[in-house]
Structure 1
């Protein structure tokens, strides 16, 4: 295509019609050559049949009445009869043709002989009369053959040209009809791009390639709209969440500078400002984590041993965070992790981040005392991470909102979360093609269950067409 600028500037309809014309011309040339050979053979057979008819009167006369005198041929017939001794009782052949004729080898032979600027088709027939060979020669001007062939070839060329042109025209019409839905699809896409409409591309009634393309484009449009909506919602939520701590931070610093009556009060104001700054930093870090998770399209790879190592390290970090509180933290390990060859579509650091967020939420729910259990269970085609606590669970009405961004269940002033922990966990699980479930018991506690399928089971499912 790069070497043919004309093709680059030509539409699909023109390419189809042009390609059909080229193919039709090639087929017409091949067919024309074959038909021309057949025409030549048919015309020559017709000429030989006429010559055989001219000769038949003399061959029959020589066979049935050899002693009778031979009648002269018609005015348009070129006939010669040659006796065994070489004499010619009948001769109406063109001048100079008879000496050029070869002696016949078979009973009947045909040939084309040139005399000067003229050519003649000659049929030589050998007849045995009383054991002696007589020869009957019939000739016909080859120009008659050429005239007939010329007329038939002209008709052939015109017919094949009409067929090739008709094929190109039919291809143009069919391409125009076939591309009609594409033009409507393009106009619909232009209208959608110029308006904030939530409509999708029109899908035709026929279940053809264009309808399949429209469905694929509609899926793409829906995903892009969802992505844009999530981005707008994230910006809106982030602006709202950042506005409050920034305003408080500014007010507290202003009070510390202008209204502090003592050093102790100034220190207290600065300390409150520092806590707001820590909350702001945590919020920004969580937003960056969430954005980084959703921005990367490629899947990770981890073995069960790597996931167990990340879990142990995350549990150690949880114990450090809970130091000084009456919180029991337990870890339940999977069986035979070192012998498991399965891999999972998640990076080890993302798995550790997932546990950190779940443990952080659980520790905030537990407060000063309680029990927290982190377990890693190996199933047949997956690995399951469960983080359970005895923090009293959550309000059932909040369960449907718990995995969203900036959603927090207000339990009191001690709750200082940014509302992004479970959203980050859900994003990590979705990226790994896993599932997340909240097992909530109000008054008892909450269990977050994350299941990650291994890549081998996903590959087997894809091979089965599931």
Structure 2
């Protein structure tokens, strides 16, 4: 069975507070009991000191310093807190006792004399605190003086205190639980408001946000985090819609060309040369569609990829081989430059880095004049190793520098000049760079080419 969050909070706080209150009540009772016992023991000590100097045992005979002191009223009448006195010999046989003991005898224990401590015992129907001291004559023990004081009033006081604490304890817990539940409910009201507002936000009104409180507390941080999450979801949804629209548009165009070419072929009989020309056109269209689909799949794999496994890579050798391979495949001059003479080691995923550089080199070759080489350059800065891909193209307009990494974005002048492309290469580069923790930047001015730079974190 599910329990409301405020109930769980109230129970936890109540249990903790109940334990604290229980400890406090035990301490209160313990301190009260200790104080009462100490007061009675102090009175017993005073009585012991007083009578110790007045009573003597000489050859088994009791003698008093002041006979009238022994016969005073406090030992012969029952008072509110009477003092009970009994004198016994070394074997514990009673020799004399105060009249208020009646038929009762005090407890005899020689060990208590040596420890000089008081203890509680039953005397008839009541409790008493008792002490016991040794009586000496010429340095030799002759017997024992037993003194006791009623503990009954103190016992009633302690029992009443215990009963009051036991009665109030559950009452305090119940009231505490109800108070905690009410306060917990008030505390989570802002969260309930956040939940209610969040449940109202759907794909249709993803632009709405939760009202942020003025205080920068945990509720405010939670609200801002949810709003930031909604903002990211909104941007992601917009990109997805734009991506779907652009992908549909990019695929619709070659499909229309392919359909038109085939329809022309079946309208009437044609010469072999015409058939060959139309079939080549159709195959070229299919190739462009295949390349576009491959890039779409590559972009989808990048967006859904997990953490990449990074290994140590020697950058100079890797880039030198990549430059030679690209030059042979593209039949273009790709110049490799190293700004340092020592090996450069980085932590990277080799396949991911090769895919990034393949896209950048293909873009550089596509937009550069054939008479100028594409430069692949590496070196080290204060921040770490870097790679630069330099082309000699017409450059990128400043207002388009941020948009060139968006899927399917292409500059108007590139489209007007008929430069082939789908606008997905740089989007793939950006995604892979983000996954790899590589900082991607570009510098470009119209008419002076572009420099794409990859900065690697310190190994």
Q: With structure 1 as the length reference, what TM-score do the two structures score?
A: 0.77
Partner Cα separation in structure 2 for residue 401 and residue 267 of structure 1: 40
| Contact 2:364/2:374, CA 8 A, preserved across alignment | no
Structure 2 residue aligned with 1:229? 238
How far is 1:292 from its partner?
1.7
Structure 1 residue aligned with 2:371? 370
Note if 1:426 corresponds to 2:430.
yes
Identify unmatched segments of 5+ residues in structure 1: 1-5, 457-466
Note if 1:330 corresponds to 2:335.
yes
Equivalenced residue count is: 438
Partner Cα separation in structure 1 for residue 457 and residue 104 of structure 2: 99
Structure 1 residue aligned with 2:102? 94
Aligned partner of 2:164 among 149, 155, 158: 155
| Contact 1:334/1:378, CA 8 A, preserved across alignment | yes
Aligned partner of 1:38 among 31, 51, 73: 31
Distance 1:38 1:423, change over 3 A: closer
Structure 1 residue aligned with 2:380? 379
Structure 1 residue aligned with 2:362? 360
Partner Cα separation in structure 1 for residue 389 and residue 88 of structure 2: 123
**What is the SS of the residue equivalent to 1:437?**
strand
Distance 1:141 1:318, change over 3 A: same
How far is 1:363 from its partner?
3.4
C-alpha RMSD over aligned residues = 4.1
Structure 2 residue aligned with 1:461? none
Structure 2 residue aligned with 1:460? none
How far is 1:422 from its partner?
2.6
**What is the SS of the residue equivalent to 1:235?**
helix
Partner Cα separation in structure 2 for residue 122 and residue 60 of structure 1: 18
Structure 1 residue aligned with 2:345? 341
User: Equivalent residues in 2 for 1:22-421 (5 A)?
Assistant: 22-47=15-40, 65-66=66-67, 70-72=71-73, 73-76=76-79, 77=82, 79=84, 88=96, 91-97=99-105, 101=108, 105=113, 110-115=118-123, 119-122=127-130, 142-161=151-170, 164-165=173-174, 168-169=177-178, 171-193=180-202, 195-301=204-310, 303=312, 305-306=314-315, 308-310=317-319, 312-322=321-331, 328-336=333-341, 339-344=343-348, 347-366=349-368, 369-380=370-381, 381-394=383-396, 398-399=400-401, 401-408=403-410, 409-411=412-414, 412=416, 414-421=418-425
Structure 1 residue aligned with 2:3? 10
Distance 1:431 1:452, change over 3 A: farther
Partner Cα separation in structure 2 for residue 147 and residue 262 of structure 1: 125
How far is 1:245 from its partner?
0.7
Partner Cα separation in structure 2 for residue 378 and residue 169 of structure 1: 69
Deviations 1:385-414 (A, max 9, x none): 333333433556655543332233345564
Structure 2 residue aligned with 1:435? 440
How far is 1:250 from its partner?
1.0
Q: With structure 2 as the length reference, what TM-score do the two structures score?
A: 0.78
| Contact 1:201/1:214, CA 8 A, preserved across alignment | yes
Distance 1:426 1:34, change over 3 A: closer
